[in-house]
Amino acid sequence: MAETKYSMVKGWIRSKILDGTYAPNQKISSESDLMKQFDVSRHTVRIAIGELVSEGWLYTEQGAGTFVADRSAILPDTPAYQQKKIAIITTYISDYIFPSIIRGAEAEISQEGYQVSLFSTNNDHEQEKRILETILSQPFSGAIIEATKSASANPNINYYLNLEALGIPYVMINAYYDELEPVSVVVDDEKGGFLQTEHLIKLGHRHIAGFFKTDDMQGVKRMKGFIKAHRVYGIPINPKNIVTYHTDKKSSKPAEVLKMMLESSQEKLTGLVCYNDELVMKLLDVLRQKEMNVPEDISIVGFDNSFLAEVSEVKLTTIEHPKSELGKVAAKTVLEMIGRGRGCKQGTPVESVVFEPEVVLRNSTKSLGVMA
């Protein structure tokens, strides 16, 4: 269905308010400027502005123009604001470890009488933008947010700054945008990557390939741990043994690269360090095709200790991820921030939480008989 001209004007003005381009009490573009920008009639512009005024986004002053309403001044006192809603935004909702994280957070939030609204960005910045506009448009008490493509520059930073300006506290989970320095609840991913690699090194492995999803900060840090472990134990790294990929290639690139590596006549790989357990399942398919057995022919270490670690015929050595506990702690943290009042300016600052990773031993790795 085609967007009407007035809704296009209305949507643009609203978006500029939500991303902070138009600040509270700032005068918006004149009717004439909006008419030129969108090639519409004055009547169309006035319908758009009229609706935004009636919805509380704008106010007009006779002879002076139209201005942005200061929503931060009215939100806490409105009945809608007191509905006690908290948003949970993750990159995915129904996949992999995310249901466990969400269940942990939901249980804690519901217990305190808050309603939970779930959103998924699918690790896409445009989808993240639409969700943040929803959060900013409605009277949410707070939010738990997983960063989208956290290793790259985020085009939606203004929306987060506007959350702060409106006094809507948020906690970031799994990863965070470093430039914002938000309160966060994460796993020490660098140490996790180090432990994955150290485990293989201590079993005598010297030719180890690492596979890391690097559009998310978790993967970048796990790769850093992989490199650090080699350096600490004085083992040179073949640059070709570090494989990086982005979310949109996660179903194809790692498997394709592993297949090529195994077909190469160069050094024989004895161990694989994987970004997560989900990736292990894809790489196991390649190993089956090559009629290679784990751990007899090659050892493999995952990350997250997900349900996948035990459903395969290969019981996976992996790194523990707190999952439900992480969600629970994130919920407690955002509830504490809400309880302290807007802006969290009362008392000592709310602290971020970092979970310590540990190796969960199963039978996907074996000793080569050479101790580090």
Q: How far is CA 219 from CA 24, 147, 206, 273, in A?
A: 39, 13, 22, 12
DSSP 166-200: TT--EEEES---GGG---EEEE-HHHHHHHHHHHH
Strand order in the sheet with 184-187: 115-120, 85-90, 142-146, 170-173, 184-187, 353-355
Residue 346 pLDDT > 60: no
Domains 5-69 and 76-182+324-355 share a fold: no
Angle between helices 125-137 and 157-165 (to 10 degrees): 20
Residue 75 in this model has a pLDDT that exceeds 60: no
The model's pLDDT over 99-111, given as tens digits with 9 standing for 90+, comes to 999 999 999 999 9
Expressed in percent and rounded to 5, the helix, strand and coil fractions of the chain are: 45, 15, 40
Domain map of the chain by residue range?
Answer: 5-69, 76-182+324-355, 189-321
Q: Give yes or no for a contact between 115 and 106, defined as CB atoms under 8 angstroms apart.
A: no
* Confidence check: pLDDT of 64 > 90: no
Report whether 58 contacts 13 (CB < 8 A): yes
Is the whole model's pTM more than 0.75, yes or no?
Answer: yes
Q: Can you point out the beta strands (E) in 29-69? A: 58-61, 65-68
Residues 5-69, CATH architecture: Orthogonal Bundle (1.10)
Mean pLDDT for 163-176 is 93
User: CA angle 174-20-64, nearest 5°?
Assistant: 165
Question: 149 near 125, Cβ under 8 Å?
Answer: yes
Confidence of residue 77 (pLDDT cuts 50, 70, 90): very low
The vertex-107 CA angle with 103 and 111, nearest 5°, equals 165
Question: pLDDT of 225-254, one tens digit each?
Answer: 999 999 999 999 999 999 999 999 999 999
CATH number of 76-182+324-355: 3.40.50.2300
Q: What is the rounded average pLDDT of the residues 172-197?
A: 96
Tell me the two tokens of residue 143: 């939010």
Which of these ranges, 55-69, 87-101, 124-138, 178-192, has the smallest mean pLDDT? Answer: 55-69
Does position 139 have pLDDT exceeding 50, yes or no? Answer: yes
Unique residue bearing structure tokens 């998310």: 216
The contacts of residue 104 (CB under 8 Å, 6+ apart) are: 323, 324, 325, 326, 327, 328, 331
Give the CATH number of domain 189-321; options: 3.40.50.2300, 3.20.20.70, 3.40.1390.10, 3.40.50.10470.
3.40.50.2300
Residue 2 has a pLDDT of 52
The pLDDT score that the predictor gives to residue 372 is 42
Neighbours of 229 (CB within 10 A): 25
